[in-house]
Chains A and B, each alone.
Chain A
């Protein structure tokens, strides 16, 4: 892989999704059911006659919101908790104990099972994924914070009475920006994927149509298996989803190799270190 290539490809993919979503119509565009792609409907229509292109655009909003919210909340929670554990000696053991605790909880099965109990809307999905996602950020950030907290400029700030939260915000966390960013991009990617999965299993509110749900509806219809309609009811949402997760993955990967000095001289030495534990 060339240097910079993953980021550029990834950013392009994400941008395409974001722009397409930004121009989404606010209401489903109606037509006759199962129209093949053509002039009237660029990507055809689905079983209830909704324009597939418009539905893909509208579905993108759910994915983007979930990705953004999960990425943001895990980065905030993870950096504050991991940072405090790294900088305040007394808090280290209890906070990291909590992190270990959350880390061993198997995420995907748990999210699915809890969704079964609660039948979540988008808010519940975000809450659940954030609650289970921050520990991996905290775990990555703590050793970095520990290292930086020993630096002389931090000691200097401490010596004139800076408190831990001020130190974190002003001196320590800005140094870990890159790693935090990479990690939160991976968390966002995980969120997008898990949300699509829940939609596919039919565990989301039926009123907000997402890509996972579009595929679930498509596969719930017998015509998908006996006629060529799957070409335009299944492939577009699937491609959109893969484009977004791939884009996020590539951007995360690029950030990771660029910003982590341990990853060695060659840019291809260790890509995907953060991907290893990902799907759990």
Chain B
């Protein structure tokens, strides 16, 4: 129980620190918030902010108060689930983030599914044939896949399947002509290529994880016992080795999830898939720093949650977590 509490406490501390860092990052933005408002007004043809208006905005956003007070106000705001008002979308940030978050979740989940469906069997085969030619070939291929940056898979998929073969749409998350009405099939058609490229990129990581863990497991005494009992290779792999592999793999899923979110940024960029990565670029290009701050917070919080879940899960199996390693 003590270890559970320690883990939860650590995650909370990390979350608080990241929130504070996040709060201060916005003050490093070149120009500052008033400059941003002023620039937006000039671009829309109005006069730049007058001094009186500056003072008014300063008071309105609380920028005239000390940093500490601003931080407290920010935390109080967060406690009410308020992520601030998006100046670009002219709606509360939380609504917009929720909308885009849903699509990123679909992308990441499908991508991880692809990664596991390819990486897991290949890893097991490779470990079972350790040192044979099949293992060497797989290792070499996965090594090259692992050296390829995530955005390359996406661009290759885009050129081959969307531009040349035209099997899948080029961009977006739903048909432009008729948004929202075509339903699941249309959504999956738009999801296919980004998720596939994300999945292929992640699958080499899954492959290495599975292969190395499996090599360890196959060296255990109970596997030898099973072999001595006369069990066949398949039986040993499925009945004895796989159950030992799965908890560890599930725990590493959190790590994969964090990586997948980063990789999803690239897939979203190449396919103009409207997820959180695209949203943060939109926010950035339009000086919508409150929205950007909200995205940062939501992303880090969800990745931290997945790490926490993985750690708690590992403790259940007492896989040597928390011994200071």
A217 at the interface (CB under 8 A from B): no
B236 at the interface (CB under 8 A from A): no
Q: Is the interface of A mostly helix, strand, loop or mixed?
A: helix
B78 at the interface (CB under 8 A from A): no
**What separation, in Å, do the CA atoms of A229 and B161 have in the docked complex?**
18
Q: In angstroms, how far is the closest chain B Cβ from the Cβ of A117?
A: 5
Which range contains the number of B residues in contact with the other chain?
Answer: 35 or more
Q: Find chain B residues with CB under 8 A from A266 CB.
A: 130-131
CB distance A110 to B300 under 8 Å?
yes
A278 at the interface (CB under 8 A from B): yes
Residue pairs across A and B with CB atoms within 8 Å: the count is: 153
Q: Which of B32-40, B95-103, B260-268 contacts A (4 or more CB under 8 A)?
A: B260-268
CB distance A225 to B159 under 8 Å?
yes
**What separation, in Å, do the CA atoms of A109 and B292 have in the docked complex?**
13
CB distance A109 to B148 under 8 Å?
no
CB distance B25 to A106 under 8 Å?
no
B274 at the interface (CB under 8 A from A): no
Q: In angstroms, how far is the closest chain A Cβ from the Cβ of B257?
A: 9
A275 at the interface (CB under 8 A from B): yes
Q: Find chain A residues with CB under 8 A from B277 CB.
A: 112
Q: Pick the most buried of A143, A200, A230, A278: most chain B CB atoms within 10 A of its CB.
A: A200
CB distance B159 to A109 under 8 Å?
no
CB distance A277 to B130 under 8 Å?
no
Q: Pick the most buried of A108, A215, A270: most chain B CB atoms within 10 A of its CB.
A: A108
**What separation, in Å, do the CA atoms of A272 and B18 have in the docked complex?**
31
Q: Which of B25, B131, B261 contacts A268 (CB 8 A)?
A: B131
Q: Which of B147, B292, B300, B324 contacts A249 (CB 8 A)?
A: B147
CB distance A242 to B144 under 8 Å?
yes
Which range contains the number of A residues in contact with the other chain?
Answer: 35 or more
On whether A219 and B300 interact (CB within 8 A), knowing A108-B262, A143-B325, A268-B130, the answer reads: no
CB distance A270 to B146 under 8 Å?
no
Q: Which of A113, A200, A249 contacts B151 (CB 8 A)?
A: A200
22 contacts between A and B (CB under 8 A): A101-B13, A104-B304, A104-B307, A105-B18, A106-B300, A107-B262, A109-B261, A109-B300, A116-B283, A116-B284, A117-B289, A139-B325, A197-B266, A200-B149, A242-B144, A249-B143, A268-B130, A268-B139, A276-B208, A280-B255, A280-B258, A280-B262
Instruction: Give B residues with C-beta under 8 Å from A.
Output: 10-11, 13-14, 17-18, 25-26, 28-30, 130-131, 135-136, 139-140, 143-144, 146-152, 155, 159, 163, 202, 205, 208-209, 211-212, 215, 252, 255, 258-259, 261-263, 265-266, 269-270, 277, 280-281, 283-284, 289, 292, 295-296, 299-300, 303-304, 307, 324-325
Cβ-closest 4 pairs across A and B = A108-B262, A246-B147, A106-B258, A279-B259
